[in-house]
Structure 1
Amino acid sequence: MKYLIPFFMLLVLVSCTRTYYYGAGNFVTESSVLPKPVYRGERAKGTYLQGSYYHTLEDEPTEVNPIEFSSIQLGELSYIKSYTGKNINAAYSAIVHGGVYDANAVGEFNGGSKNFFGGGVTGELNLNIPFNRVDWRIIGGKFSMMYEGGDYYYFRKDVYKKYGTSYSKEDFNVINFNPRKLYVNFSLTWEVVYKLKNGAIGYWESYGGRDKTFVLGKCLYYTRRKLTGFIQINGDMQGAYLGGGLIFQID
């Protein structure tokens, strides 16, 4: 229920001139795939290095999405450990990230490009139903804990001190969901993997919460021996983000 509150809030604020959203700069960690070995009749483990890049798709407010922001760019590097059993998949990772949030000015606070950086940990546990050519990871949960600093953190902290989590006046509205450096997220996930002779093709989805809003993630990936490439789209109240990256298995 708490994730629906911001949406009802938006319905009230749509008629006003501008709506500014301020959440954490890292908008994808809890809705990004973690690589796991497929089940081929015996337990398997893997160690991976992952690099990824994401960018917002919408740059201007619309009637459908009245929230105003310019753009967000984000890069991530991850070290990942994974385990696959017959009916269980597990993975965890350590992450560093950095990026730029092109924030709009609000009130007396100047906008422009604001850097952010940080790191954290994330983990995922799945129930797996294996078939001869398919692994169906029918349901899972993913938990993330992230720390973030930089110019953008201090910007949204100052906005929060002035306007709180939500504020409305004649010429603008403020919705500020995250004035903190440390935050946690949780998502439900599912995944299906088609096994190839020397790799796999997979599709992964997540449904979860970040900064008291609902977040959806969709990822398509292809693995050939030790290298995986993926493309991903995420969506929340700010709009949609497109990204991709490479994963290399080192062990």
Structure 2
Amino acid sequence: MTRKIVHIDMDAFYASVELRENPQLKGLPVVVAWDSIRSVIVAASYEARKYGLRSAMSVRRARELCPHAIYIAPNFTLYRDVSRQVRGIFQRYTDRIEPLSLDEAYLDVTVNNKGIASATEVARRIQEDIFLETSLTASAGVAPNKFLAKIASDWNKPNGICVIPPSKVMSFLQDLPLEKIPGVGRVTLAKFHRLQMKTIADLRLRSEWELTHHFGRYGRRLYELARGIDLREVDTNQQSQQISTETT
């Protein structure tokens, strides 16, 4: 049976929660961080992102890019409470949930608590419930495996949905930039480029032996991902990671 996986990713979660609590700030560049040049950004609203601000950026750099940004100190107790509320919504639809952080999770809805045949419909209902009950938006990716669902959830942000049916997997991947592969950072991307690879199509031209030669055991996984293969199950025993912040 082909799996039906949904990846839910809350939109600018920490910043969106703060904007919900402070509606007078909507439309302004809001940054969740301690207002100190020695701090780093926890989250940035979409308005702040237009100036190049992003999570993990130093506040010093953020001030240079957007001097008029508004800083709000993080409230992780509130974020955890909202995250539990969202998790409760997930549990109405499926028991097979793998939290990745406070603001994202994989859901296996192949067989779901509502008996809904369409995974896309499940995702839409979850998005609607989240908005009705929290006033927050989430984006969703629907696909036959975790790898594809995670990529898809980022495709139509914010408050969007992207569906990759099994028949469209190869065409969807064809021109996908390699930096879109979850876990590929600057070092790996630079190595790809040195090997004259920029898209999944380029990666697919390489043999498993060649990829293993250059990337070790990770090469085998790259060979599979280039063909849309990801056999990992949704891990219901996975503990949700909590994103922490620190001052440098």
Greater percentage in strand = 1
- Does TM-score exceed 0.5, indicating one fold? no
Q: With structure 2 as the length reference, what TM-score do the two structures score? A: 0.23
Q: With structure 1 as the length reference, what TM-score do the two structures score? A: 0.23
